Amino acid sequence: MPIHRHLIRLSKEIYGFPRHLSIHPGGFILGHEPVHDFVPIENASMEARTVIQWAKDDIEELGLFKVDLLGLGALTHLDKCFQMLKTHRNQELSMGTIPHGDEETYAMMRKGDTVGVFQIESRAQMSMLPRLKPHTFYDLVIEISIVRPGPISGGMVHPYLRRRSGEEAVTYPHPCLEPVLKKTLGIPLFQEQVMRLAMVAADYTPGEADQLRRDMAAWRSKGQLERHRERLVTRMMAKGITEEFAERVFSQIRGFGEYGFPESHAASFALISYGTSYLRCHYPAEFTCGLLNSQPMGFYSAGTIVGDAKRHDVAVRPIDVCVSSWDCTLEPFPDGDFAVRMGFRYIKGLKQIVGQQIVDARLGGSYISVEDVVRRAQLDARSASLLAQSGAFERLQPDRRVALWDSKGAAQSAPTPLPLPQTEKAPSFKPLTTSEISSWDYRVSRHSTRLHPLAPMRPVLVQAGLPDSKEVAAMRSGRLTHYAGLVICRQSPSTASGVVFATLEDEAGFVNLVVWPTIFEKHRVLAKTASFLGVTGRVQSENGVVHIIADSLWVPQFQQKPEKISSRDFH
């Protein structure tokens, strides 16, 4: 047998097997007796942690009681914000006491101004917010649910939006479905509605409906969902429901198999989403500080979070050995507001124990020089070098190259009981340009409080006829434009039929790209790998949502290059 045929045969044998083994991060088994009496347990890689050897699906089949505890970084973010409000403003706030129905908060959402907000910060959600225009809490529940594979696959999104805006009458496929679909204007959006719809319109028993739910969750691995298709469609049609609607409902059920979203789940998420939105709207400094201290989480990097905060008039101050802590902190203004001070945690490769040494040594008195910091905090050469490159010595030595020289010398010198006079003449270094300062910031700390990587290049970009993101947002729909920005996010959702979405950033904000499959294939390598990307295409503007529909992608050719930043890519 030819070797390639042998490879194909072997591949077919392992098709459908798990790709790798992993531990469910929040799945627990509970029992009325010790669980090691009826399931095999082994030690996990983490100290003092054990793991059950059976797969979660097998445990469910056996009827064991499994509970999934969902841990959310957004809850940590909220907790940190509440603590800062108590410490710095003496305000007691919690999920239960945040004012409900705040119009300013909803107005912010309707603009799609939601970087860092739980569940509604993605490109897709930001694009949906100005179209759905949430005014109430239940609107937010729907917003969170509608940008999901279920409603999208079932073709429910656009009909709902048309009905919500009054462009289409609210109708029901059958009178019996009005109680089920009334809250969502005759369009099924939630998993509970789909199950109830099957019971009312297709005469499913509660047991059959629960089996439908189970098959939705397991359709990829077991392929049992298709057996419901004929039963659902024929029973609905027998009640006078159109075949087209019945097929759409089944498509939605299949979509829920990808990622089903119950109404109860959406409501719980909406509470957290509203809480983070409220804090972002009314306490942006605390919101930003808490978000930075809760990373990694969400869609955006520290550099994007810092840039967005600054565009919303939050003062963000650089890492400074004289005042910074490990975490980001708040520093008061005379008017009672606060600035965010970046923490040592954002210096790549710096250990937390080293950051604490700097803070502890500072308790003995203010630092007076780079050498003083290195000596008193007992810094090794590597840590001292990282601090110098990040600009953390700037208050003591404004020239970063001189600070790097001084820190290396101090770290390599033997400690002395008393400071000795400098006998060696310090070398002269060429000062860093503004562009180099930004590059050093991003290289060492993944952000810059001083300036965006494209800010020093703006005169050159203007000369080349390239607009910034604010100018793109103001362009009329259909206009051909050229734009260049830094790629911060790429997405290729399974529901988008091969369309790739990308978000580009400059010092003024964001530009969203839509890249059709033919354009993506033509520029595949560039679309997947470029950090600084140019695009030519037509502006699409509707309901305050602006995209560039890409006709071509290209590499901006300038002598000056911005620092390469990493994007967060989702598939």
Query: Could you tell me if 397 and 368 are in contact, meaning their C-beta atoms sit under 8 angstroms apart?
Result: no
The rounded mean pLDDT for the chain is 89
Closest by Cα among 385, 367, 511, 392 to 449: 392
Domain architecture of the chain: domains with CATH: 3-68 (3.30.1900), 467-569 (2.40.50.140)
Retrieve residue 208's tokens. 């059959």
282 pLDDT higher than 70: yes
**Measured between alpha carbons, how far is 483 from 512 in angstroms, rounded to an integer?**
11
Tell me which H or E stretch contains 84: helix 73-89
Q: What is the pTM of this model?
A: 0.86
Classified as helix, coil or strand, 340 is: strand
Closest by Cα among 287, 345, 285, 281 to 319: 345
Q: Distance of CA 443 to CAs 306, 406, 526, 544, Å?
A: 15, 20, 22, 35
Per-residue pLDDT of 65-113, as tens digits, reads 888 887 889 999 999 999 999 999 999 999 999 999 999 999 999 999 9
**Measured between alpha carbons, how far is 332 from 336 in angstroms, rounded to an integer?**
6
What's the angle, vertex CA 249, arms to CA 246 and CA 252, rounded to 5?
A: 155
Query: Could you tell me if 165 and 128 are in contact, meaning their C-beta atoms sit under 8 angstroms apart?
Result: no
**Measured between alpha carbons, how far is 249 from 186 in angstroms, rounded to an integer?**
12
The residue to which tokens 């939601």 are assigned:
114
Strands 480-491 and 568-570: parallel
What's the angle, vertex CA 416, arms to CA 410 and CA 418, rounded to 5?
A: 110
Query: Which DSSP category does 35 fall into?
Result: G
Retrieve residue 565's tokens. 């930043």
pLDDT confidence of 475, banded at 50, 70, 90?
Answer: very high
Query: Could you tell me if 312 and 284 are in contact, meaning their C-beta atoms sit under 8 angstroms apart?
Result: yes
Distance of CA 44 to the CA centre of its chain: 29
Residues with Cβ < 8 Å from 303, sequence gap 6 or more?
442, 446, 447, 448, 565
pLDDT confidence of 147, banded at 50, 70, 90?
Answer: confident
292 pLDDT higher than 90: yes
Closest by Cα among 310, 346, 303, 350 to 567: 303
Task: Give the pLDDT mean for 281-295.
Answer: 97
Per-residue pLDDT of 191-200, as tens digits, reads 888 788 888 8
Closest by Cα among 482, 484, 536 to 505: 484
Strands 50-52 and 65-68: unpaired
Query: Which DSSP category does 475 fall into?
Result: S
